[in-house]
Amino acid sequence: MYIYKVGVAGAGTMGAQIAEVVSFAGLPVVLADVQESLARRGVESVRAIYQARVAKGKMTPEQLEEKMLLVTASPNLDGLHDADLVIEAVSEELRLKQRVFQELDRICPRSAILASNTSALSISALASATKRPGKVIGLHFFNPAYAMPLVEVIPGLGTDPQTVDDVVGFAESLRKQPVIVKECAGFLVNRLLSPYLNEAVWCLQDGDVSIKEIDQDMVSFGMPVGPFTLLDTVGLDIALDVARILHHSYGPRMAPAPLLEAFVKAGRIGIKSGQGFYEYGNVEKGGVDQSLDELREQVWQRTGRHQMTWSKMRPLLAMVNEAVIALQEGIASARDIDLAMAAGTGFPTEKSGPLHLADQLGIDHVLQELEELKEHVGTRFWPAPMLRRLLDAGFTGQAAGRGFFSYEPTLDRMR
């Protein structure tokens, strides 16, 4: 199926970014919201993205105007009546999204594909609100959509294979890197990123290290920004919501760090509130100004103090272990797991992704580290069973020539 026209339901930040990506690829796009003012504001956000390109000399003002001719606003979903593909980008509330999908199902042609940009909610649950489950799919762009190359393609239980093929082809036409992900809570990138971020907060809660030290150590490892800088940018409230969704689905290993909950309760939710793990100088009036030490003391009074020496391997091994569990469950292939984490989070290319990292460290070493962390920290570090299977088979990683991936024999091993 060729997609000639695209609709975007929801003209907020992500909706506008998606509309810009679609129009940049040369396709007409209708940006719809519940009010004309909101839809027009979304169109102006698209213009602002293009204007930034002009300011950097990456396009001319004439090219900007040509692209903007492809973007129109609609004050309601009726404006999407002739779209071949509609991408829903409203707030992360299941009931709200289901109502939107119910309306889109009524308005759009029977041949139209209905996609959701949700980062964690069930695609199958969204499809249940329609009479076309075969045409409903997840299409998760990453923020900022105009810069991030990855999109997750998530079929629901009833999604037709042809719909998957059509959406993969569409993503490629946008010059994006699509990765097909089996439906699960958090999908792939957020499912692996959340334990990494959450463990960084657990480490801070343990009280042996500063925010800046953790961030600096993870940047020196090769991550584009530290976990606390990323949390402040995303919003601690959003990160906590994702952590709670994952905790509900996967159990104790995903339990949100109490310190993260304490920060959110105190109103320190990141850049948007002027305070998160860092101070940003624009604190909202009426906000509760509680310091890290005060919040940490409150948490210790409730949970006790479990002081441990800081190691950057703790958050990294939380990500690695979850990557192995996702591989066991068939959420994605080993190649696609590493590709997604590199493209979606900026995982350092020389490490190639969490599974390549495990191979480089050695499966035996990873298993030993996880066992030690399990003893000292708790069951959230219970090793994925696949690690023992690999070890028993002698597939201990790069040095052995085989782990999660196969490696060419080196001269040293040939001698």
Q: Which residues belong to the active site?
A: 140
Query: In the β-sheet with 150-155, what is the strand arrangement from edge to edge?
Result: 71-74, 29-32, 6-9, 85-88, 113-116, 136-141, 150-155, 177-180
Query: Which bin fits 397, alpha (ψ -120 to 50), beta or left (φ > 0)?
Result: left
Please list the alpha-helical segments (H only) found in 85-235.
94-107, 123-127, 161-173, 189-206, 211-221, 227-234
CA atoms of 87 and 128, how far apart (whole Å): 17
How far is residue 275's CA from residue 261's CA, in Å, rounded to a whole number?
14
Q: Please give the Cα distance from 51 to 57 (Å, whole number).
A: 10
The residue whose two tokens read 């003012």 is 37
Cβ–Cβ contacts within 10 Å for residue 297, how many? 13
Report d(CA 232, CA 271) in Å as an integer: 6
Distance, CA of 8 to CA of 43 (rounded, Å): 11
Cα–Cα distance list, 353 to 12, 16, 133, 214 (Å): 31, 30, 33, 20
